[in-house]
Amino acid sequence: PPQGRIKIKELAKQNAGMTNIEINKKNIKSFEKYARKYGINYALKKDKSKSPPVYLVFFKGRDQDAINAAFREF
């Protein structure tokens, strides 16, 4: 199975439920480093309804603990 950044459709096919968090553009590269370290599959989607646009990071619901650990270290 793919690891790291994947498409939202691929993430949805894994049938693990999805949750999301907001992140701004300047923090994406830093987040990707920690996501790889913790083995998190995630998908990015740009939310253009806000000004300035923000990005939503989607990940599997069962990865919640790994996401929390990655953000604590981030």
Q: What is the mean pLDDT of residues 11-38?
A: 83
**What local confidence, expressed as pLDDT, does residue 63 receive?**
73
Q: Residue 18 CA to chain centroid, in angstroms? A: 10
Instruction: Tell me: pLDDT of 13 over 70.
Output: yes
pLDDT-derived band at 24 (thresholds 50, 70, 90) equals: confident
CB-neighbour burial class of residue 52 (10 A; exposed 0-12, middle 13-18, buried 19+): exposed
| R_g (Cα) of the chain, nearest Å | 12
> pTM for the whole thing?
0.73
pLDDT tens digits for range 51-71: 888 899 888 877 778 877 877
